[in-house]
Amino acid sequence: MASLDKAIATQLGNIEKKTGKTLAALGKAIAASGKTKHGEIRAWLIEAYGLGYGDANTLAGVTLKGLPAAPVASGAADGVLDEIYQGKKAGQRPIHEALMAAIEKFGPFEIAPKKGYVSLRRKKQFAMLGPKTNERFELGLNLKEDAGDPRAKALPAGGMCQYAVPLTVAGEVDAALIALVRRAYDAAG
């Protein structure tokens, strides 16, 4: 998926600018730190270079996977999505693609692939998207105000998102849903 590749490549370029170091130099510094676990590397990057959580998380993931330093290889991000959308969940990838095609028009944001979903961040996370079950996709949104959309189900306080929107087909990604995601995007940053 080109949009995920571009976003990660942009994020890695911004990390180079923030730290004043090339990704190769950062990779060497990580190796020299002796940290080997993702969380340890992320925490070390935050402390040592003042990176934000999303940047440190992405750099730790890229380093551990041994992906090319820059730019991200075309298939690298697709590999993460291939892992998320495999087997019975493969049919949900068009929903992901439809959402990302609309969201990338909003402006800059970070994409942080996780094990079973993708987190989208500005200054803070505004959305999570990925398969909830084999048959159902879920869009999580961080939106403090009332969502005003009957598809958005309020979640218990203290979770990673305030609302969840269950989706089963890409056709459910309509203008009203994109407007709701845009409100979360704007509020994050």
DSSP 58-75: HHHHHHHHT--SSSPPHH
pLDDT score recorded for residue 70: 36
Closest to 134 (Cα-Cα) out of 170, 86, 96, 95: 86
pLDDT score recorded for residue 22: 84
Summarised one tens digit per residue, pLDDT across range 98-109 is 999 999 899 888
ω into residue 150 within 30 of 0, thus cis?
Answer: no
Q: Please report the domains of the chain, with CATH numbers, ordered by start residue.
A: 2-76 (no CATH), 88-187 (3.90.1150)
* Residues contacting residue 78 through CB under 8 Å, at least 6 positions apart: 1, 4, 5
Pairing relationship of beta strands 137-141 and 153-154 according to DSSP bridges? unpaired
pLDDT along the chain (189 residues), means of 10: 67 88 85 87 92 89 62 47 88 93 89 85 91 94 91 89 94 95 93
Four-point Cα dihedral 24, 45, 121, 103, nearest 10: 0
Q: Give this prediction's pTM.
A: 0.61
Closest to 78 (Cα-Cα) out of 7, 178, 132: 7
CB contact at 8 A, 33 and 44: yes
Summarised one tens digit per residue, pLDDT across range 49-91 is 999 988 898 898 888 776 433 333 334 455 678 888 889 999 9
